[in-house]
Amino acid sequence: MNIAERLRARRTYFDGGMGTLLQKQGLQPGDLPETWNLTHPQILEEIHLAYMEAGANVITSNTFGANRLKCDDLESTIRAAYDNLARAKARFSGDKDEIFLAFDVGPLGKMLRPLGDFPFEAAVAVFGESIRVAADCGFDLILIETMSDLYETKAAVLAAKENCDLPIVVTNAYDESGHLLTGADVPAVVATLEGLGVTALGANCSLGPRQMKTIAAQYVQCASLPVVINPNAGLPQVKDGKTTFDVDADEFSDLMREMAILGVCALGGCCGTTPDYIRKTVQKTRDLPFSLSESKRDTVVASYTHALSLSGVPKLIGERINPTGKQKLQAALQARDLGYLVREGIAQQDAGAHILDVNVGLGGVDEASLLPEAVAELQSVIDLPLQIDTVRPAALERALRVYNGKPLINSVNAKEESLETVLPLAKKYGGVLIALTIGEDGIPDTAAGRCALAQKIIDRAAQYGIDKKDIVVDPLCMAVSSDDNAARVTLESIRLIRDTLGVHTCLGVSNVSFALPERQDINAAFLAMALQNGLSCAIMNPCSADMMRAYRCYCMLQGFDPHCESYIAFAQTHPHKAIDAPAAAAPQSDDGETLPPLTYAVVKGLRDQAASQAKSLLGTTAPLDLINDQIIPALNLVGDRFQNGRIFLPQLLMSAEAASAAFDVVSAKLPRTKGKKEKILLATVQGDIHDIGKNIVKVLLQSYGYDVIDLGKDVPPQRVVDAAKETGATLVGLSALMTTTLDSMAQTVSLLKEQLPAVRVMVGGAVLTQSYADLIGADGYSKDAMGAVALAKRFFPAS
Amino acid sequence: MSGGLTLLTGTLDDCTVSRREALRYLGVRTEAPPELELMLDRAAELLKTCAALKACYTRLPLTISGDTLDFGAFRLESKALKKNLDGCCESFLFAATLGVGADRQILRLSKAEPAFAAVFDAYCSAAVEGWCNYVNAQLAEQETLCPRFSPGYGDVPLSLQRDVLAALDAQRKLGITLSDTYFMTPTKSVTAFVGIG
């Protein structure tokens, strides 16, 4: 019986703490415990043997920190760790078939991007290196443990899947609120790891058994796989300068018995526990009946913080991150301006979307590199599950790799080519598949035909080991203008598929009205009809008031809106009668000066008012005149006030945001050639993660109408150079906050000068000085954000 | 002999967050205009929803010879820290953090509302100082203390953070990690020596 079978067949016991035992034997705090594998093999062997004799089945190697970042001699350290286990097993007098040797994998000690500086793929590579050595040793399983970040957990699991065939058990470290350090709750972790195909999962470390009980209960409630719980011996406390734990072996084992009764399949310990804790746990739980938790049938997707069930209230999938028919988004994607995508995402989240569709397919862009970047950027600030939408397998795979959670995958269809490329990816990375009812002969024109194709996809997915619950069928809808029955057949299909196949459905709702007038009325009516027929997820624009009105009404009338709260809140903010755009107001007085209305709005930092003023003024004023006579003078005025200390940075930024909002409105009306703006590339240099200063410069430059391409923080020199080449930007702004990253700034400047001599470079940041800027060959230095604007004006005198 | 580690958790209600400090980070040296006060109110409310205040401290022995300070677990040369800890034969060492939730908010706001992002960032910086003051006050109940001193100041290099965080087991206990260039994540984190005596 291998460990995967053992975990499902009977209660399994993991061993307990290692560090505490080594410290008792003389390991000094701060020393790397893994070094003892080579220097004190006998002590390790005795500890392993003691756990075997206590009744533990899964015995973990002393390799928590055995990775290239922490440990110099990886190969011999891991081999020695295995040998220590193997010798103990050879000496074990009990049933050796009941002993399984686990290669222990702990966290890297690095925070992954975007919160930290460590790249996801680098983490996969570092874990992979250790796991390759382990795979060669003869371990029975990989135990990934004490992970407090879901993203790093995924990196470790992928590394294990790609470097060995061993069963993978994962235990995460939660805080008392039941969240990982980086925010994921238990259902999100379970959804993600079950999607990735691990063997068993659960929690360890951080908490004692008392605090971990609620977490264990959550696991049992939402996991289909065997649950493993390895708590600390209570919470640490300092007594006479020594750390001790507050739960003894008797109390620990009593509490572990409660865990077993809850339905936890595997029990063990972590910090502070000893063979005695495990022995008593075994004694008290051995005779309890064992039952595997039942397989859960709910369809669940997850972001990096939370899981979302597709049952119950119908879900909205925001469709706006898709360049089809959207010129602004197309331009943003071509310029790799991912900030635009993020703002679209935030707007949809604020409007009520539950999931965001992400599609960056556009002629002339490299989707395989852009899609994963877009996913990474969106999930750095938006905690909604994403729907990865592409027809390119390479782009899909790379996006699935970097996605942090369990995504929707849009899409697979019933054609062989699609089934053969998409299903293996869905199996490897996990996710809920959108199944389009398109076969080799197109879309059937009956509900029964579409249902049959859905069944075919479900069957094929099952052959790949993909559960039916992870499939959502999209029966598609053609334009009713080209086929009178288009909508009716789709509605019938939704109901038939739901009732006969027992799966969830989704639908892009707005196709139906193609080529007809007043499309929003049709879309809203069709949405309500589709929901009434059982639609689980509507792919639509949540910023459309008409669609949202239909959705809110449906939810309320269907009993999904307690006390009509959501409907009332929506109705109050979206009155039926459109509010007329305000007529250009009279000049207003501010601080003793009389200002034109748009100028006033910018000076006061009123974003919405600035945009609406610009809109109404465009009726009577030429776009360029608005910029030159109202927006720029406003910015100059606030710039002066800022320099004179009469207003402060936040107010300056508010004005800049208002000016940008007005600019967006006005520039849409500018002739193409006139609308072409000077490009400025901004980056915080490699190694530096402090980018607030750079962000401020960006906002100000944008407010002056420059086209700012923001590469973000911790940007390698070559990436800056490449981006300058790709975008044709002739001015690059670099920031660095700390002395430790000045070298990296110098390297970036010299690389730029070497490869793109015509590009100008301006630098800034807390530790920079004019003389250092001169020394590294920068063309300009600014001590603050207004100075950066002055530099830009100098480099682009025509503007 | 190195001491054990003591963990602390807290809420923003435990801390006094200096608005004056937050305003100073924003370059405001006079009385704040009312709209800024409103933004600070909003920052305070928002931080309550995403902060997870944690800290961890230990007590280290200290031997000073010349400019070398030996804390048992690690040693360094520094005139500035020596001056700060002169006459002490023990020191507390602590790390305190607002948690990663504040960083996430800052990331999001910097894309969505840059002006408020700047205010929130400054408020968080003031808040982590407030949290350090709370931790410091807990230590002051035990011993008479010197003023606290953080790596990165004077001639104490940021690279010392590696030893400091290791001695506090800060990655495991608090989730604080270090970049290759010695920045801490969560960014709103502070480490400090507090001499005893």
CB pair distance less than 8 Å for B115 and A653: yes
What domains can you pick out in chain A, each with its CATH number? 3-25+36-285 (3.20.20.330), 300-573 (3.20.20.20), 588-667 (1.10.1240.10), 677-795 (3.40.50.280)
Task: Give the CATH number, domain containing residue B121.
Answer: 3.40.109.40
Q: Could you say which residues from 163 to 202 on chain A have a Cβ atom under 8 Å away from some Cβ of chain B? A: 175, 177, 181-183
Interface test with A, best of B159, B179, B184, B196 (most A CBs within 10 A): B179
Q: Any idea which of A5-19, A82-96, A697-711 has the lowest mean pLDDT?
A: A697-711
- pLDDT tens digit sequence for A264-307: 999 999 999 999 999 999 999 999 999 888 899 999 999 999 99
Q: What is the ipTM of this complex?
A: 0.87
Listed by number, the residues of chain A in 380-399 with a beta carbon closer than 8 Å to a beta carbon of chain B are 380-382
Q: A243 and B5 in contact by Cβ < 8 A?
A: yes
E strands within B53-195?
53-61, 63-65, 68-70, 75-77, 90-97, 177-178, 184-185, 189-195
Residue from B53, B57, B110 whose CB has the most chain A CBs within 10 Å, to mutate: B110
Closest chain A CA to residue B50:
A183
Confidence (pLDDT) at A88: 98
Q: A686 with A720: CB under 8 angstroms?
A: no
Checking if the pLDDT of A7 tops 70, the result is yes
* Nearest chain B Cα distance for residue A724, angstroms: 22
Res A584: pLDDT: 54
Provide the β-strand partners of residue A781: A763
Q: CA geometry: angle at B86 spanning B81 and B88, to 5°?
A: 110
Q: Is residue B1 part of a domain?
A: no
Q: Which of B9, B40, B171, B189 to mutate to test the interface with A (most CBs of A within 10 A)?
A: B171
Q: What's the pLDDT score for residue A754?
A: 94
**Cβ(B92)–Cβ(B145) under 8 Å?**
yes
Q: Cα distance from B127 to chain A (closest Cα, Å)?
A: 17
Give the confidence band of A585 by pLDDT, cuts at 50, 70, 90. low
Give the strand pairing for B189-195 and A760-764. Answer: unpaired
Tally Cβ neighbours within 10 Å of residue A616.
18
Q: Where are the beta strands (DSSP E) in A591-678?
A: 593-595
Cβ-based contacts under 8 A for chains A and B: 157
Q: Do A738 and B73 touch (CB under 8 A)?
A: no
Buried-exposed string A346-356: b where 16+ CB fall within 10 A, e elsewhere = bebbebebbbb
Rounded Cα–Cα distance for residues A530 and A538 (Å): 9
Distance in Å, alpha carbon of A104 to nearest chain B alpha carbon: 16
In this prediction, residue A668 has a pLDDT band, given cuts at 50, 70 and 90, of confident
Close Cβ partners of B109 (under 8 Å, ≥ 6 residues apart): B116, B117, B120
Percent of chain A with pLDDT over 90: 71
Task: Give the C-alpha separation, B70 to B77, whole Å.
Answer: 9
- Weakest mean pLDDT among A488-502, A584-598, A683-697, B24-38: A584-598
Which pLDDT tens digit goes with each residue over B165-176? 999 989 888 999
Q: Which residues of A touch B107 (CB under 8 A)?
A: 114-115, 380-381
pLDDT tens digits for A469-527? 999 999 999 999 999 999 999 999 999 999 999 999 999 999 999 999 999 999 999 99
Domain assignment of residue B184, yes or no: yes
Whether B118 is in a domain gets the answer yes
Whether chain B has a CB inside 8 Å of the CB on A236: the answer is yes
In chain A, residues with a C-beta closer than 8 Å to the C-beta of B4 are: 236, 238-239, 241-244
User: For residue B117, is it within any domain?
Assistant: yes
Token pair belonging to A120: 């996801």
| B106 contact residues in A (CB cutoff 8 A) | 692
Which of A29, A339, A382 lies closest to B167 in CB terms? A29
Cβ contact B117–A692 (<8 Å): yes
- Residue A562, chain B, CB below 8 Å: the answer is no
| Best CA proximity match to A509, nearest among A554, A552, A479 | A479
A342 in B contact zone (CB under 8 Å) = yes
The predicted-structure confidence for A708-725, as pLDDT tens digits, reads as follows 888 888 889 999 999 999
SS3 A798: coil
Give the tokens for residue A636: 């100059």
From the list A236, A382, A649, the residue facing B5 with the nearest CB is A236
pLDDT in tens, A206-238: 899 999 999 999 999 999 999 999 999 998 777
Q: For A18, which DSSP code?
A: S
Interatomic CA distance for residues A485 and A223, integer angstroms: 43
Location of structure tokens 């920045």: B183
Average pLDDT (A48-71) is 96
Whole-number mean pLDDT of chain A? 92
> In chain B, what residues touch A122 (CB-CB under 8 Å)?
none
Over range B82-102, report the average pLDDT: 95
Question: What mean pLDDT is reported for chain B?
Answer: 92
Give B61 to chain A, closest Cα distance, Å: 11
Using CA atoms, how far apart are residues A232 and A57, in angstroms rounded to an integer?
Answer: 18
Mean local confidence (pLDDT), A322-343: 87
Question: Touching check for A242 and chain B: CB below 8 Å?
Answer: yes
pLDDT digits 0-9 by tens, B48-60? 999 999 999 999 9
Pick from A3, A13, A9, A12: which is nearest to A279 by CA? A13
Mutate to test the interface with B, among A182, A206, A383 (most CBs of B within 10 A): A182
At A25, phi and psi to the nearest 5?
Answer: -85, 0
- At A405-441, the pLDDT tens digits run 999 999 999 999 999 999 999 999 999 999 999 999 9
pLDDT value of residue A582: 52
Window A:105-164, CB contacts with B under 8 Å:
107, 109-111, 114-118, 146, 148
Average pLDDT on A319-340 reads 88
pLDDT at A674 over 70: no
Residue B154: inside a domain, yes or no?
yes
Beta bridge partners of A238: A243
Q: Kindly state whether residue B46 falls inside one of the protein's structural domains.
A: yes
A-chain residues near B179 (CB < 8 A): 110-111, 116-118, 687, 689, 714
In this complex, the residue of A339, A647, A653 whose CB is nearest that of residue B111 is A339
Q: What whole-number distance in Å separates Cα of residue B132 and Cα of residue B55?
A: 8
Please give, one letter per residue, the 3-state secondary structure of A421-486. HHHHHHHHHCCEEEEECCECCECCCCHHHHHHHHHHHHHHHHHCCCCHHHEEEECCCCCCCCCCCH
Amino acid at A64: F
pLDDT of residue A198: 98
Would you say A115 and B185 are in contact if contact means Cβ atoms under 8 Å apart?
yes
Chain B touched by A738 (CB under 8 Å): yes
CA A82, CA A59: separation in Å to the nearest integer?
A: 11
Taking the C-alpha atoms of residue A47 and residue A59, their distance in angstroms, rounded to an integer, is 10
Residue B1 has pLDDT above 50, yes or no: no
Min Cα–Cα distance to chain A from B40, Å: 11
CA-nearest residue to A381 within chain B is B108
Q: How confident is the model over B139-165, as pLDDT tens digits?
A: 999 999 999 999 988 899 999 999 999
The tens digit of pLDDT for each residue in A549-573 reads: 999 999 999 999 999 999 999 999 8
- Chain B residues with CB under 8 Å of A653 CB are 114-115, 118
pLDDT for A672: 58
The residue segments making up the domain with residue B59 are 6-195
Chain B: give the shortest CA distance to residue A26, in Å.
Answer: 12
Residue A59 is classified by DSSP as E
Residues of B with Cβ-Cβ distance to A117 under 8 angstroms: 179-181, 183, 185
At A641-654, the pLDDT tens digits run: 888 888 888 888 88
**How close does chain B come to A112, measured CA to CA in Å?**
10
C-beta atoms of A689 and B179 within 8 A: yes
DSSP code of B27? T
d(CA B100, CA A670): 43
Q: How many domains does chain B have?
A: 1
How far is B131 from chain A, CA to nearest CA, in Å? Answer: 19
Are B118 and A650 in contact (CB < 8 Å)?
yes
Least confident of A166-180, A523-537, A677-691, B115-129: A677-691
- Decide if A690 touches B, using CB distance below 8 A: yes
